[in-house]
Amino acid sequence: MQQIKNIRWSFLLLMLTLNFGCDQISKKIVRTEISDYEHISIIKDRFTLLKVENTGAFLSLGDQMPYIFRLIILTGLPLLFLCYGLYYLFAKKNLPVMMQVALCFLIGGGIGNLYDRIIYGSVTDFMHMDFYIFQTGVFNFADISIMIGIGILLFQSIRSSTTKQQEEQEQLERNTN
């Protein structure tokens, strides 16, 4: 039983480290190799690199708030949520594997952006996509991790809801026969 716990913890730590590590390595490269607001076309202006230091939240929301409010809302609250997320991830022994993976993506990405905010005072964003009808803001690998985590949780929620409805329908059919 202890060996299973050790394997689980190792898996979770590896997933968290990979999410955080990929984000931080990419940001370190961008900080040293790309100038602020430098525009580098990767795929015909559809996918570009554009280094931006974001002092706000998602899409720079809140970057005009007074410093103390930004500190509380953009650093303090995420720190509390991430600490609780780590506790929940490691304390709950019977979480479905996909939920554990989703939480690792969410927490790893969250730690990546929070680390930037604490160490550098802003979050380094550098990727941008423009597909005519769909255009993103400037984002980073931590944002991708967070979106993947949310996507997995949504998929799990829809799948479990569908499964539950099917089970209820089958139970109803058995009861009426």
Active site residues: 125, 143
C-alpha distances (whole Å) from 100 to each of 47, 150, 156 are 31, 12, 11
In sequence order, what are the residues at sequence separation of 6 or more whose Cβ sits closer than 8 angstroms to the Cβ of residue 110? 78, 81, 82, 85, 142, 146
In sequence order, what are the residues at sequence separation of 6 or more whose Cβ sits closer than 8 angstroms to the Cβ of residue 38? 49, 50, 51
CA 166 to chain centre: 31
Report d(CA 79, CA 114) in Å as an integer.
7
SS3 state of residue 128: strand
